Amino acid sequence: MSKAFTKEDVDLPERSGRVRSPSGLPPGAVNYITAVGAERLRQELAQLKQAGGENAAAIAHLEETLTSVTVVPPPAEPGEEVAFGALITVKESSGQLRTHRIVGVDELRFYDDAVGWVSPLGRKLLAAKLGQRLVLADKEPVTVVSIEYPTG
């Protein structure tokens, strides 16, 4: 391969000696999580500790994860702009509605409609406003019709 097609400015954490967070985020990235997600992780940890036995690795991983998270509370006054933790409903041109919940990487498994805030879709949605038309990954324009902040 020609040298022109290599990226010299990208240094993988594993090669440079930097360590990724337990969540797999790059070094230096803040590990955001919703209050609901953090509580679910705490409950999961408590259940693992109660079960005891062969869960030592899972317990250690959850403890490390919980020390690395930064809990982001929902906005005091939900407005017309999407923020972390939002449940966004978009309407396709066909009239079909889809929801996306913007959450941290450690809580993606908790929701069927979860989108990581660091993903391209998550970043695009975080920049959206109520009523705005967006072109998402599938290239079909959608309109943001609802922004909510679930508490459970």
Number of other residues whose CB lies within 10 A of the CB of residue 111: 16
Q: H/E element holding 42?
A: helix 35-51
Token pair for residue 144? 């943001």
Residue (of 36, 37, 33) closest to 118 by Cα position: 33
Q: What is the pLDDT along the chain (152 residues), one digit of tens a residue?
A: 444 544 444 444 444 455 555 667 777 788 999 999 999 999 999 999 888 767 888 899 899 999 989 999 988 887 889 999 999 999 998 899 999 999 999 999 999 999 999 888 999 999 899 999 999 877 789 999 999 998 76
Architecture of domain 10-72: Orthogonal Bundle (1.10)
Residue 11 has a pLDDT of: 47
Per CATH, which fold does 87-148 belong to? Chitinase A; domain 3 (3.10.50)
The beta strands (E) that lie in the chain are given as 31-34, 69-72, 87-92, 97-103, 114-116, 133-135, 141-148
Report residue 11 CA to chain centroid gap: 24
pTM (2 d.p.): 0.78
Query: Distance (Å, rounded) from C-alpha 132 to C-alpha 120?
Result: 17
- The Cα 103–Cα 95 span in angstroms is 26
Question: How far is Cα 79 from Cα 147, in angstroms, rounded to an integer?
Answer: 8
Strand partners, 89: 99, 146
User: Is the separation of the CB atoms in 31 and 20 below 8 Å?
Assistant: no
Q: Where are the domains of the chain?
A: 10-72, 87-148
